[in-house]
């Protein structure tokens, strides 16, 4: 019983962490709470709302950044 509680709590916290990282904290909390490990999996596959892919070097950069820190190209923010 204690094992499953820890198991569930671990995935719940993991879902919150991933949700926070992707700028989608509410979805992280809900998915982790309702679905547990499956919610974590769904979160991993969900779109990252805080980062965009640089069109020049495919690096993950913050969506508010004006220049790509990796290749120094100007990034046009569409979102």
Provide CB contacts within 8 A for 52, sequence distance 6+.
60, 61, 62, 63, 75, 77, 79
Total residues interacting with Zn ion, rule: CB under 5 A: 7
Which of 57, 60, 65, 67: binder of Zn ion (CB under 5 A)?
A: 57
Query: Between vectors from CA 27 to CA 43 and to CA 9, what angle results, nearest 5°?
Result: 75
**Torsion angle in degrees (nearest 10) through CA of 68, 60, 32, 39:** 150
Choice from 15, 16, 52, 68 touching Zn ion (CB under 5 A): 68
Q: Is 67 near Zn ion (CB under 5 A)?
A: no
Which listed range, 8-16, 26-34, 44-52, 67-75, lies at the site for Zn ion (CB under 5 A)? 67-75
Q: Pick out residues in 7-36 that bind Zn ion (CB under 5 A).
A: none
DSSP, res 64: T
Residues forming contacts to Zn ion in the complex (CB under 5 A) are 54, 56-57, 59, 68, 70-71
């Amino acid at each position: 019983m204690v094992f499953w509680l820890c198991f569930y709590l671990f995935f719940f916290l993991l879902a919150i962490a991933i949700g926070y990282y992707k700028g989608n904290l509410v979805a992280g909390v809900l998915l982790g709470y309702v679905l547990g490990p499956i919610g974590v999996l769904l979160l991993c596959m969900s779109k990252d709302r805080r980062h965009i892919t640089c069109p020049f070097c495919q690096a993950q950069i913050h969506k508010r950044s004006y220049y790509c820190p990796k290749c120094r190209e100007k990034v046009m923010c569409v979102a």
